[in-house]
Amino acid sequence: MEAYKVIEIKKSVFESNDREAEKLRAELKAEKTFLVNLMSSPGSGKTTTLRGIIGRLQQEMRIGVMEADIDSDVDAKTIAETGVRAIQLHTGGMCHLDAEMTRQGLEGLGTGDIDLAILENVGNLVCPAEFDTGAAKNMMILSVPEGDDKPLKYPLMFTVSDVVLINKMDTKSVFDFDDQAVQERILKLNPQAKIFFISAKTGEGMDAVCDWLRQQVRDWNA
């Protein structure tokens, strides 16, 4: 009996998604919409970080947010309270978004008048890292309580992320977290990664993150 061709199917799925992602990225470049794919574990502070970014940038650029979750609209309501355009994406049980799902979300959001679009991906450190969404940059958040060993346990997430935010630095006195070790582990996987140590709660490091985003949007539109 012939074996199931799981490897071939998986490869085909990824190749098809990669083509769709490149196409979407080119379209967003043409319309000058900078898309960030934000990834992390549940509870890392994605939504709080996002609110901090929005509060610092919404007066100088038009921002739209897509909140992806298996089944909830809590985060979309929270982001909508900031005054920016926000929509909720239900994935129907899927633990990630791919390029086609992202395209559907962008169509629902409407990007013709959006300078900075942010996709808050489904919360986990495995599946979202495997699929190119068509974003200009991948951003991930690692919180101090999760531990400095996460780059060792989930290397792909840190390999595909252009920027890593180490969040909840205000809790560092409570947890055994080694700043230098986590930075070395990330850079060993991804020497080009930009790393920021932040606290979305206190605002520590958030201005530097927003300066980085401003420059990325300018470069995208150049």
- Residues 153-162: pLDDT tens digits? 999 999 999 9
pLDDT in tens, 70-121: 666 677 888 889 999 988 888 776 778 899 999 999 999 998 899 999 999 9
Residue 6 placed within a domain: no
pLDDT of residue 190: 98
Residue 5 placed within a domain: no
Residue 3 placed within a domain: no
HSE, CB side, 13 Å, CA atoms: give it for residue 195. 22
The answer to whether the beta carbons of residues 196 and 162 sit under 8 Å apart is no
Question: Tokens in use for 79?
Answer: 């982001």
pLDDT of residue 77: 83
Residue 23 placed within a domain: yes
Domain span holding position 119: 11-221
Strand partners, 3: none
CATH of the domain at 164: 3.40.50.300
- Give this prediction's pTM: 0.92
Residue 2 placed within a domain: no
Q: In the chain, how many domains are there?
A: 1
pLDDT of residue 147: 97
Residue 200 neighbours by CB under 8 Å, 6+ apart? 45, 48, 49, 51, 52, 167, 168, 206
Residue 146 placed within a domain: yes
Residue 1 placed within a domain: no
Residue 125 placed within a domain: yes
